[in-house]
Structure 1
């Protein structure tokens, strides 16, 4: 069900000199009361994951289409999902990867590509569950493939042993990175879904977020209050001759948060910036020095009164969602970290965010669509207008 909102409401108080106008143009409500745990927007298709394991596809082609639609979205995983909460969603060509509470990653094939008005007729097929049975069988015969997770308890290193909290794809699409509350970072091939590497005890506590930069560096954020930066070893041939097993190495550890880190986001708009959101409601802005390549805190964003649960970058706008039930919009700049607007309307914590640029047809303003999913079981669609200077 989609509820349409007609009115445009200007921000009650000016937050920055270039104030953003915003309105909630639609609210997407599924057939169940399950909360929204993940979102991803690919082209004109919006995918939502919920805590009952169900993934739905919504047509996000135009505002008019959203307002006129009457269905509850195209259910991909079946009316009753599998695997518990969908913690993360990523798309690679005709494949959808979903991370679940039950320690598994599932792969779905999008069988056909059709026009957006026919999206409701699309067919989906479950391709695999990672780790695959063949991957587990191939490794279960040798004791060296088992790792101790606690006293007198061993498992295959390809298995996550706690919720898979985040997914990210390499830039060329050949590798999938997964992080988990079990403190591991795993690397998978996207061609045959085999686990290539597992970094055990990558952090001292649950890993909650993973992001990849344009250069291929991997950033992981954890409840241990640290961000770690990993890099794929370039000279793999030399490593093979030396019989090195690790294909990725830790290159930096970033400490600056006073609480656990729940979310990460990267911006490459004019300058590479890393954003991290903490349980104390604060967000840190990290910048890499061009000469030394050291990464240091260059700013702090404050405004949320409770934990920051999600972050998303849309062009030159940073969006943050919080347990305080609000979404805040921030201007991305090397020197300006001002808050453009605060979006209110959710009746529960905001768990996930995504968005895209939307052409308003006016040179005097930049237009964006932001999608926010919350524990109130709703996805809100916001139109954001920012005056151009």
Structure 2
């Protein structure tokens, strides 16, 4: 059971400074993934459990025998939670309508029925390593990242097997497999139906942009742009309302904006971390970067200039994941105080909760 360490370490003060308001230590494992929705926080670790916290207290747990949980996304419309694992599988969970504390396994991706159906035809097998083949609908290595396009009912999974797969949420069918990179895919971010763009970042040092088309019951993705080619691995991606950001193993963050002819243009790079950037998050004009140097940098955007306005410290291990809770109605629903809740997960086995002003000075 996670213990509070304590639930509230600091009270919010009257100054407009960042504030640590809670820290939860999970003795059972290092934190690799987070997902936040409303008042619930899902935490994934290298143990056999996915913890669900409500107001920093134990609320529920999802029991899995798969070990390391590398990614979590929440599909509210379908009342489903998807988790990506080191064993190459994506597991599906549903909460009970009668008791929201109870989560049960609703299947896995790919579904067993699809595996059996596809396994009959030799043409459904692809080579993944020398003298080793597998079905194209299956990941053959760790699932590193998940991204949901809820208005299209699509789920994207990125893997160390160099592919990105596209899944239909309502029936859990694999629609497409994209051989995206020449090395492990570390991140995938899919934009909504309006843009139809998908961004992938890889250990091969590239960031790629893909265009999604819906063709009947299938999807088709085509490569439209390669944004970055570098020696350092791309380790994290995030999109904001105006830009795309990538974090790298050299500690740098690059960003792009949409330019002429709907092509993305490189607009700069900023760096403060000494070690690899492992996670990124964005909300409004703020960008958050978590790194192997145990720090979280808060960047304020003004035009194309990004200023590090504060550094959140307290973790004793690499910061592996970030999640920002932003009220859906904006500042008015937030009581007008303009504060965000930021969650950070670390390999020190803790999740920390921060209050961060939207308008940093």
State the TM-score, normalized to the length of structure 1: 0.84
What's the CA shift for 1:344?
Answer: 0.5
**What CA distance in whole angstroms lies between the structure 1 residues aligned with 2:53 and 2:81?**
14
Which position in structure 1 is the counterpart of 2:296? 327
SS class of match (1:138): helix
Larger Rg: 1 or 2? 1
SS class of match (1:227): strand
Which position in structure 2 is the counterpart of 1:228? 208
- On the 8 A contact 2:53/2:60 being kept in 1, the answer is no
SS class of match (1:233): strand
Map 1:238-387 to 2 at 5 A. Answer: 247-268=220-241, 272-289=242-259, 291-357=260-326, 366-385=338-357, 387=359
- On the 8 A contact 1:315/1:356 being kept in 2, the answer is no
Higher share in strand: 2
Which position in structure 1 is the counterpart of 2:41? 46
Which position in structure 2 is the counterpart of 1:15? none
- On the 8 A contact 2:196/2:213 being kept in 1, the answer is no
Match of 1:27 among 13, 23, 26: 23
Residue deviations 1:79-124 (CA, integer Å, cap 9, x gap): xx3212111111112100000000000000111277xxxx6xx111
- On the 8 A contact 1:39/1:373 being kept in 2, the answer is yes
**What CA distance in whole angstroms lies between the structure 2 residues aligned with 1:90 and 1:113?**
22
Which position in structure 2 is the counterpart of 1:141? 120
**What is the aligned residue count?**
349
Which position in structure 1 is the counterpart of 2:189? 211
- On the 8 A contact 2:309/2:360 being kept in 1, the answer is no
Segment drifting more, 273-282 vs 312-321: 312-321
**Aligned CA-pair RMSD:** 2.3
Which position in structure 1 is the counterpart of 2:103? 124
Identify unmatched segments of 5+ residues in structure 1: 11-18, 61-65
What's the CA shift for 1:314?
Answer: 2.2
Distance of aligned partners of 1:333 and 1:112 in 2 relative to their CA distance in 1, 3 Å threshold: farther
SS class of match (1:286): strand
- On the 8 A contact 1:315/1:357 being kept in 2, the answer is no
Distance of aligned partners of 1:329 and 1:104 in 2 relative to their CA distance in 1, 3 Å threshold: same
Residue deviations 1:23-70 (CA, integer Å, cap 9, x gap): 21110122x33001000111111111111142111113xxxxx4xx4x
Which position in structure 2 is the counterpart of 1:89? 72
Tell whether 2:59 aligns with 1:108: no
Distance of aligned partners of 1:266 and 1:273 in 2 relative to their CA distance in 1, 3 Å threshold: same
Tell whether 2:10 aligns with 1:6: yes
Map 1:67-86 to 2 at 5 A. Answer: 69=57, 73-78=58-63, 81-86=64-69
SS class of match (1:332): strand
Segment drifting more, 47-56 vs 351-360: 351-360
What's the CA shift for 1:374?
Answer: 0.1
**What CA distance in whole angstroms lies between the structure 2 residues aligned with 1:27 and 1:181?**
31
**What CA distance in whole angstroms lies between the structure 2 residues aligned with 1:195 and 1:385?**
41
State the TM-score, normalized to the length of structure 2: 0.90
What's the CA shift for 1:173?
Answer: 4.4
Residue deviations 1:250-280 (CA, integer Å, cap 9, x gap): 1111125441001000001xxx200000000
What's the CA shift for 1:7?
Answer: 5.8
What's the CA shift for 1:362?
Answer: 7.6
What's the CA shift for 1:8?
Answer: 6.4
**What CA distance in whole angstroms lies between the structure 2 residues aligned with 1:179 and 1:53?**
21
SS class of match (2:29): coil
